[in-house]
Structure formats: C-alpha cells, structure tokens
Structure 1
Amino acid sequence: MNVVVTEYNDNWKQKFSEESQKLKDIFADELIDIHHIGSTSVPGLKAKPIIDIMPVVKDIEKIDSFNERIEQLGYECMGELGMKGRRYFRKGGDHRTHQVHVFQGDNEEDMTRHLAVRDYLRTHPDEANQYGDLKESLAKQFPSDIEAYMDGKDEFVKELERRALSWYKMGKDR
C-alpha cells in the first residue's frame, strides 16, 4: 500500500455523509449513532484520503449477520482485527477509500478515544498542523512502507491521545 498524505479536502465530509447513509440503511434499527472520525474528519488537517467511519450499535455480535450486505458495498470484512469488541471493514484494497470501525454502545473506552482525538484536533489547530506536517514528512520518507509510516508517528499519536483524553474528560475547557 502506497502512503499518500494530501491537503485537507472539503469533499471528505460529503463522502462521509454518502457512505454513512449506506451503512445506516444496512444497520437500520441496530444503529445508535454514526461518527466521522480520523484525520479526514478534522478540517484543515493533512491526511491519507481515507474516510474513517465509526458506527455505534446496540449489539456488536449482530453485526456479523450484515457482512454480506456490507461486502456488496465493496468492503472487505476483517472481524475484530486486533481490537476486541470492534468490527472492522475496509474498502478499496491497496487504494483504500473507507474504513469502518463498529463499536457497541457500551464500549466507551474505544469510542471516547476516537472522539476525543477528533474533537481535540478540531479545537487545537496548532497541534493539528504539527500532526499533519509529521504525516506528510513520513509519507515522503516512506512512500511504500505503511509500517514504517505508522511506526514513525506512533509516539506522537500516543502523546496526542493522552492529551486529548485528558482534555475530553475535563469537559473540553482547555
């Protein structure tokens, strides 16, 4: 998989909206909420052009029964893929366009982490710019090595998550 980081694209919000509607139609009554997460959900943030979607559902075990319909949308069903209590789907193969991270409504730890980082970056543009610059630099340094790209941003992301969770839990007032 080639690593490409681009400037923020206003179309990402629309792409989220269109794809989330398709998922809403599939999950129907099982769906509690659906969120645009990840870097494409932060206006102005440089990102890999992959839309991350986080549906929140009543019962994670029931999601497997929707796999065939999700595959018809072009997704690959990946199960938990290393994160207990999640169902992960990706679309686009080596030229990924969407990733779906489904969590059960009572899985507050994982959901909060995603929402905290998103909201923190939306309200802390200097840190969003630092993160975007790091990702852009790593993508240039490792254009065909996604593992090296991920390793290069790991320490920054862990610290970002720590600050974001602290901020989020304190009522987003800092």
Structure 2
Amino acid sequence: MRKINVVPYDEQWPVLFELESKKIKSIVYETYVNILHIGSTSVPKLSAKPVIDMLLIVEDLEKLNQLDDDFKQLGYEALGEYGIIGRRFYRKGGDMRTHHIHAFHYSNIVEIERHIAFRDYLRRHPEQSQLYEALKSQLAARFPYDNNAYCDGKNDFIKQLEQQALKWMMAQKT
C-alpha cells in the first residue's frame, strides 16, 4: 500500500525532470512537440509528494499509443486516458511512484494551458502556494493511505486555484 508523503521542496526535482525528459524524448521523437515540468515539484519551495509530473505535448496520439512498450521499458505503466478525455497517462514506480506523464495532442489547448497556468500561478503567488502546501500536508496526515480521500480533499481548492490561474494567465497575455 502506497503511503502519501508530502515532503519539503527538493532542489533535485528539476534535475530529475531533466534526466527523465531526455529519456522520454528519445522514444517519442517522431511525435514530440514539447515536454514541461508541471505539478507541485515544479514550484520552487513548495512541499510536495516526491513525484515528478510532466506534461508531454505530441503531434499524434496514435503514434504515442504505439510506444506503450517503449514506455514499459523505461518503467512506465500506460493507463490510457485515465479519467481525462484526450489525455494519455503514464506512471512510473508502482507503490514507490517517481514520475507521471500527462500527454496531450498539441491542439488540446484547454488541458495544456490549465496545467501551465496552475504551475505558473503558484510560482508567482507564494501566498497561494503556501495555502496549497498547508492543505496537502493536512490531508496527507489525515489520510496517509487513502489517495482518493487525499485527492478529493484537494479538489475544490485546486478547481478554485485553476480558475484564478487561468484568469491570471489571460490577463498576462493582454
């Protein structure tokens, strides 16, 4: 059973992202558009579960689907859409999870911008980042072995933060 651990920010997280992203690029090169570090481990000073989340943007989801065996060779489990239409989700590490890949076709602007806006908003709004960190720490202490309860407990806060982040992102573009 996987225990939910929220740990202090680790300066190695961006390094781990870079190392893993090179491996991923080497297998998706035919459909690769971009790969970005997202999620809590991409926000300096933010405590997080030590799982590197990556946003993989591709030209062709069908080509990506054909690479499931290559991802398996890197230690990933391919889970298909896994609850988000148009996404391909991969996770690495089993109960000792280390990485997640959230892959989208480049035209899926809504999902891509949602992830980027959330990350960038937390990077530029430390007060919101601190509130999010406190919530995650409380939930991890309350539900150390119940990932569903942990995620459900964050859901409303994340949805509210995503709306703020998207409005903020649109204001930055004008």
Q: Which runs of 4+ in 1 moved over 2 A?
A: none
Q: Name the SS for the 1:101 alignment partner.
A: strand
The amino acid across from 2:72 in the alignment is E
Give the 5 Å matches for 1:139-154: 139-154=140-155
Q: Name the SS for the 1:169 alignment partner.
A: helix
The amino acid across from 2:30 in the alignment is D
**Unpaired segments ≥5 residues, structure 2:** none
CA–CA separation in structure 2 for the residues paired with 1:129 and 1:89: 28
Please say if 1:161 is aligned against 2:162.
Answer: yes
Identity of aligned residues (%): 47
Q: Calculate the aligned-residue CA RMSD, in Å.
A: 1.1
CA–CA separation in structure 1 for the residues paired with 2:117 and 2:98: 23
- Give the paired residue count: 173
1:42: which partner in 2? 43
CA–CA separation in structure 2 for the residues paired with 1:65 and 1:151: 33
Please say if 1:138 is aligned against 2:132.
Answer: no
2:79: which partner in 1? 78
CA–CA separation in structure 2 for the residues paired with 1:111 and 1:14: 22
- Deviation of 1:148 after TM superposition, in Å, equals 1.0
Give the 5 Å matches for 1:11-50: 11-50=12-51
CA–CA separation in structure 2 for the residues paired with 1:101 and 1:124: 24
- Deviation of 1:29 after TM superposition, in Å, equals 2.9
2:125: which partner in 1? 124
CA–CA separation in structure 2 for the residues paired with 1:13 and 1:77: 23
The amino acid across from 1:81 in the alignment is Y
- Deviation of 1:170 after TM superposition, in Å, equals 1.3
The amino acid across from 1:111 in the alignment is I
CA–CA separation in structure 2 for the residues paired with 1:108 and 1:172: 15
1:79-127: per-residue Cα shift (whole Å, max 9, x none)? 1111111110000111110000111100000000000000000000111
- Deviation of 1:134 after TM superposition, in Å, equals 0.8
1:118-168: per-residue Cα shift (whole Å, max 9, x none)? 000000011101101110111011111111111111111111001001101
**Unpaired segments ≥5 residues, structure 1:** none
| TM-score of the pair, normalised by structure 2 | 0.97
CA–CA separation in structure 2 for the residues paired with 1:172 and 1:105: 19
